[in-house]
Amino acid sequence: MNSGMVGVMLGVSVFIGFLGLVAFLWGLRSGQFDDEKKMMQGVLFDGEEELQEAALIDKKKREMKREPSMKENNNGGEA
Protein backbone atom coordinates (compact mmCIF):
# COMPACT_ATOMS: atom_id res chain seq x y z
CA MET A 1 0.00 0.00 0.00
CA ASN A 2 1.12 3.49 -0.79
CA SER A 3 1.97 5.66 2.24
CA GLY A 4 0.14 8.58 0.60
CA MET A 5 -3.01 6.50 0.39
CA VAL A 6 -2.72 5.58 4.07
CA GLY A 7 -2.38 9.27 4.93
CA VAL A 8 -5.49 10.15 2.94
CA MET A 9 -7.49 7.33 4.56
CA LEU A 10 -6.31 8.39 8.01
CA GLY A 11 -7.17 12.04 7.34
CA VAL A 12 -10.66 11.17 6.06
CA SER A 13 -11.25 8.89 9.07
CA VAL A 14 -10.23 11.60 11.53
CA PHE A 15 -12.43 14.13 9.72
CA ILE A 16 -15.48 11.82 9.81
CA GLY A 17 -14.83 11.09 13.49
CA PHE A 18 -14.64 14.82 14.21
CA LEU A 19 -17.95 15.41 12.40
CA GLY A 20 -19.54 12.66 14.48
CA LEU A 21 -18.24 14.23 17.70
CA VAL A 22 -19.54 17.66 16.68
CA ALA A 23 -22.97 16.18 15.87
CA PHE A 24 -23.08 14.39 19.22
CA LEU A 25 -22.13 17.53 21.16
CA TRP A 26 -24.73 19.54 19.24
CA GLY A 27 -27.34 16.94 20.20
CA LEU A 28 -26.37 17.19 23.86
CA ARG A 29 -26.58 20.98 23.90
CA SER A 30 -29.91 21.14 22.07
CA GLY A 31 -31.57 18.62 24.40
CA GLN A 32 -31.95 15.74 21.97
CA PHE A 33 -31.21 13.19 24.70
CA ASP A 34 -33.26 14.73 27.55
CA ASP A 35 -36.42 12.63 27.25
CA GLU A 36 -36.33 10.65 30.50
CA LYS A 37 -40.05 9.87 30.56
CA LYS A 38 -39.98 8.12 27.20
CA MET A 39 -37.54 5.50 28.44
CA MET A 40 -39.46 4.89 31.67
CA GLN A 41 -42.80 4.69 29.85
CA GLY A 42 -41.22 2.27 27.39
CA VAL A 43 -40.34 0.00 30.30
CA LEU A 44 -43.72 0.32 32.00
CA PHE A 45 -45.95 0.16 28.94
CA ASP A 46 -45.05 -2.43 26.32
CA GLY A 47 -47.81 -1.94 23.76
CA GLU A 48 -48.65 0.96 21.49
CA GLU A 49 -52.07 1.46 23.11
CA GLU A 50 -50.52 1.75 26.58
CA LEU A 51 -48.02 4.32 25.32
CA GLN A 52 -50.80 6.39 23.73
CA GLU A 53 -52.80 6.23 26.95
CA ALA A 54 -49.77 7.33 28.97
CA ALA A 55 -49.22 10.25 26.59
CA LEU A 56 -52.87 11.27 26.94
CA ILE A 57 -52.62 11.15 30.75
CA ASP A 58 -49.45 13.25 30.63
CA LYS A 59 -51.15 15.78 28.35
CA LYS A 60 -54.13 16.03 30.72
CA LYS A 61 -51.79 16.60 33.68
CA ARG A 62 -50.07 19.46 31.84
CA GLU A 63 -53.45 21.01 30.97
CA MET A 64 -54.59 20.76 34.59
CA LYS A 65 -51.44 22.56 35.72
CA ARG A 66 -52.12 25.38 33.23
CA GLU A 67 -55.80 25.84 34.15
CA PRO A 68 -55.35 27.42 37.63
CA SER A 69 -52.95 30.02 36.30
CA MET A 70 -55.41 30.86 33.50
CA LYS A 71 -58.26 31.27 36.02
CA GLU A 72 -56.15 33.54 38.22
CA ASN A 73 -55.32 35.72 35.21
CA ASN A 74 -59.00 35.98 34.24
CA ASN A 75 -60.16 36.83 37.78
CA GLY A 76 -57.37 39.34 38.23
CA GLY A 77 -58.36 41.16 35.06
CA GLU A 78 -62.01 41.51 36.08
CA ALA A 79 -61.33 43.14 39.47
Residue 79's pLDDT band, with cuts at 50, 70 and 90, is very low
Which pTM was predicted?
A: 0.45
State which residues form the domain around 27. Answer: 1-34
Q: 29 and 39: one domain?
A: no
| pLDDT tens digit sequence for 13-63 | 999 999 999 999 999 998 887 777 776 766 666 677 877 888 899 899 888
Residues 79 and 41 in one domain: yes
Distance (Å, whole) CA 66 – CA 17: 45
- The pLDDT confidence band at residue 2, using thresholds 50, 70 and 90, is confident
Q: Classify residue 54 as exposed, middle or buried by CB count within 10 Å of its CB (0-12, 13-18, 19+).
A: middle
Is the predicted pLDDT of residue 70 greater than 90, yes or no? Answer: no
